[in-house]
Structure 1
Amino acid sequence: MTIEAGIRTYSYLGPAGTFTEAALAQVPEARGQEWRTVRNVGEALADVVEGRSDAAMIAIENSVDGGVSTAQDALATMPGLRIVGEYLVPVAFVLVARPGTRLEDVSLVAAHPVAYAQCLRWLGRELPAHAHLPAASNVAAAVDLLDGASTADAAIAPPGILEHHELELLAENIGDNQNAVTRFVLVSRTVAPPSPTGADKTSLIVELPDDHPGALLEMLEQFATRGINLSLLASRPIGDELGRYRFVIDADGHVHDERMADALLGLRRFSPKVVFLGSYPRADRAIVRYPDRYSDDVFVEARDWLRALVSGAPEE
């Protein structure tokens, strides 16, 4: 399959009505283009790598459940990908069922594992004897009730599902955290980072060189000594043996910033593998603040000073 000339294709976890679709709807350049539904993160990213799509929207982190491990692992192991933007979607859930179903009839609940985790307290209180049936997506969990593909009695779904399907609303606002937000990233093939905006984020995956006391501290010092704040630090097993981990990192700033570039050079010297996932504008557009001693001018002056020393130029 090839991409039609003039039309951009975007892959997202479907079917229509998912939170991922809501994230993709925030991308101005995606409006009016072709949107391709997929079944999982791996398929979405494979679409990009193999040329079926120009970009894919995937969930990467949730304010309640933490990092999305499948997405983090895929980004760590699939070469040729670059994050080009991030988007935030408020998360709310409803419990739906086939028409005529009552809440007391429910014993098996279909839900995406992340959504299920965010509704555990409500489920434990209202349906203490229920069992969980994992689903590929929250919309799929609900749709499968209607077409007979699911043995579940009810499904956890986004509120928008009721606009597209004839389902019985059993309960609304069932999420345990009313302020829950999911962070999504738009991923393309490798491209040059956009110009800095002053409100940027850089995403990396870094492996430790070996397991020794202070190894993690040495990695973190690459950021701390340059005044760079980390908004995400998560560990994921590499998988080749016990005790070997890679670290998923979001750092405040842009690769074009002198301090960030210097940190990346330090990481490159330290780590056997550094995956640069991209520098891109923050979804909240919050300006990155840092002390004056870490400004670009200070790094440039220090580098010029060293060059003068080794060239033998007289000191001023």
Structure 2
Amino acid sequence: MTFESDAPARRAYSYLGPAGTFTEAALAQVPEARGHEWRPVHNVAEALADVVEGRSHAAMIAIENSVDGGVSTAQDALATMPGLRIVGEYLVPVRFVLVGKPGTRLEDVSLIAAHPVAYAQCLQWLSEHLPAHAHIPAASNVASAVGLTDGTSDADAAIAPPGILEHHDVELLADGIGDNPNAVTRFVLVSRTVAPPSPTGADKTSIIAELPDDHPGALLEMLEQFATRGINLSLLASRPIGDELGRYRFVIDADGHVLDERMADALLGLRRFSPKVVFLGSYPRADRAIVHYPERYSDDVFVEARDWLRGLISGEPEE
């Protein structure tokens, strides 16, 4: 006699590797990913291609940083790769550590390997504690430390995420060396196109839209689709479309869910206005903050207005 296993099928999740990155820390926040395969990849395009081509169930990618703004490679990939949907967002505090080979002392450090973005976010601390240091650019935050252990780097120390200490034999020389203690990176979990989850009251909707043409007030007309329905925008970023100068697409995060009447009405207006709208998804906010809006934009108001219009068209007597 044979028995079928009740265990769920093993899934794969792609993330920007190797182990120890901030992206891995974001993936660790996803309960349904625990116990499944985590696939380290080299870049955002590879992570999303894994999803589109079926190698992974979902991919975790960085989409926005509180210090540096939107991650352009992720935004451009989501705008141009069809069949993707954001199903969740996760926040990871951006902390950096300074590490060296075992036995290294802070006073021995003169040459530091670091990714240029990480280096820029730690420059104030470095100038105060290691004013005579020199910098070697590294390909990634993890690669800066790996170069110390595998002998491919001439650096005395490296700037890396705290997770590096769990995966590599390095010495912690200093903790919390970032200049902005409030720095946060926002990550999104991306799957193949699926129906959005039910509204929670603390949701966000992400879209990418293009302007129909370049004329005075075009951007204002697009933004009015949201403003006239009481929808707050938490992100508005422009990215060049790439076919000619002066042509841009806009990455938008709007407070609310596509199943909210006000959001659905706004998206209908946007679709009539824009030649291309990419719906990236409606999903729970990472901070779980309830979205507040004026009562005149409640679902009941939109439903009543539609019922009123149907009555006019059908010839029902007005009360």
Shared fold, TM over 0.5: yes
Query: By how many angstroms is 1:12 displaced?
Result: 0.7
Percent identity (aligned): 86
Partner of 2:292: 289
Query: By how many angstroms is 1:134 displaced?
Result: 3.4
Residue 134 of structure 2 corresponds to residue 130 of structure 1 = yes
Residue 232 of structure 2 corresponds to residue 236 of structure 1 = no
Query: By how many angstroms is 1:132 displaced?
Result: 4.3
Cα 1:226/1:36, change in 2 over 3 Å: same
1:206 and 1:247 in contact (8 A); partners too: yes
Partner of 2:78: 75
Q: Distance in 2 between the 1:156 and 1:315 partners?
A: 71
Partner of 1:278: 281
Cα 1:70/1:108, change in 2 over 3 Å: farther
Partner of 2:267: 264
Per-residue deviation, residues 164-197 of structure 1 (Å, max 9, x unmatched): 3222333221101112111110000000100111
TM-score relative to the length of structure 2: 0.92
Cα 1:194/1:115, change in 2 over 3 Å: same
Q: Distance in 2 between the 1:303 and 1:61 partners?
A: 37
Q: Distance in 2 between the 1:107 and 1:268 partners?
A: 56
Partner of 2:53: 50
Q: Distance in 2 between the 1:227 and 1:18 partners?
A: 38
Q: Distance in 2 between the 1:315 and 1:158 partners?
A: 66
1:233 and 1:247 in contact (8 A); partners too: yes
2:23 and 2:61 in contact (8 A); partners too: yes
Per-residue deviation, residues 278-314 of structure 1 (Å, max 9, x unmatched): 0000111111110010001100111111111122221
1:33 to 36, 58, 65: 36
TM-score relative to the length of structure 1: 0.93
Cα 1:310/1:132, change in 2 over 3 Å: farther
Query: By how many angstroms is 1:120 displaced?
Result: 2.9
Deviates more, 1:29-38 or 1:159-168: 159-168
Structure 1 counterpart of 2:306, which letter? R
2:208 and 2:278 in contact (8 A); partners too: yes
Cα 1:160/1:298, change in 2 over 3 Å: same
1:245 to 248, 257, 260: 248
Query: By how many angstroms is 1:157 displaced?
Result: 0.8
Query: By how many angstroms is 1:231 displaced?
Result: 0.7
Partner of 2:120: 117
Q: Secondary structure at the match of 1:145?
A: helix
Residue 61 of structure 2 corresponds to residue 62 of structure 1 = no
1:65 and 1:118 in contact (8 A); partners too: no
| Structure 2 gaps, min length 5 | 1-7
Q: Secondary structure at the match of 2:15?
A: strand
Query: By how many angstroms is 1:274 displaced?
Result: 0.7
Per-residue deviation, residues 250-292 of structure 1 (Å, max 9, x unmatched): 1000000010001101111111111100000011111111001
Per-residue deviation, residues 223-244 of structure 1 (Å, max 9, x unmatched): 0000000111111111122211
Residue 159 of structure 2 corresponds to residue 175 of structure 1 = no
2:163 to 160, 165, 169: 160
Partner of 2:316: 313
Q: Secondary structure at the match of 1:177?
A: coil
Cα RMSD for the two superposed structures: 1.8
1:14 and 1:140 in contact (8 A); partners too: no
2:97 and 2:173 in contact (8 A); partners too: yes
| Structure 1 gaps, min length 5 | none
Q: Secondary structure at the match of 2:79?
A: helix
Q: Secondary structure at the match of 1:254?
A: coil
1:110 and 1:135 in contact (8 A); partners too: no
1:13 to 11, 16, 26: 16
Cα 1:295/1:140, change in 2 over 3 Å: same
Q: Distance in 2 between the 1:19 and 1:305 partners?
A: 52
Cα 1:206/1:127, change in 2 over 3 Å: farther
